[in-house]
Amino acid sequence: MIIVIIPVRCFSCGRVIASDYVAFVNRVNFIRENERREPTPEEIERIFDDLGVKRYCCRRMILSHVDLIDEVIAFD
Ligand SMILES: [Zn+2]
């Protein structure tokens, strides 16, 4: 199960991005696991285009997000 705490909406334009984040991470992890490398910038752009994340305000929400829940959950 994936537990993430990402803002539901983009801070700038209000677009819902939380569900796109999970899809984005799944696509990136697919490339990492199957091809044993990091996705190229072109592939990242392609993933955003496929998900319909067009504006760069929304893209920065997803790209710059760092999941800290696993660090916090240790103190549960
Ligand atoms: Zn936005």
- Write the CATH number for 39: 1.10.10
Centre of ligand 1 from the C-alpha of residue 36, in Å: 31
Residue 65 within any structural domain of the chain: yes
Residue 51 within any structural domain of the chain: yes
Residue 46 within any structural domain of the chain: yes
Residues contacting 6, CB < 8 A, separation 6+:
17, 18, 21, 61, 62, 65, 67
68-to-5, 17, 26, 56 alpha-carbon distances in Å: 8, 18, 17, 23
Over range 3-12, report the average pLDDT: 88
Using a CB cutoff of 5 Å, list residues around ligand 1, an ion: 10, 12-13, 15, 55, 57-58
Q: How far apart are CA 31 and CA 33, in angstroms?
A: 6
User: Domain limits at 53?
Assistant: 18-73
Structural domains in the chain (count): 1
Centre of ligand 1 from the C-alpha of residue 3, in Å: 22
Residue 26 within any structural domain of the chain: yes
Residue 12 within any structural domain of the chain: no
Q: How confident is the model at residue 75 (pLDDT cuts 50, 70, 90)?
A: confident
Residue 4 within any structural domain of the chain: no
| pLDDT digits 0-9 by tens, 43-67 | 999 999 999 999 999 999 999 988 7
pTM above 0.95, yes or no: no
Residue 1 within any structural domain of the chain: no
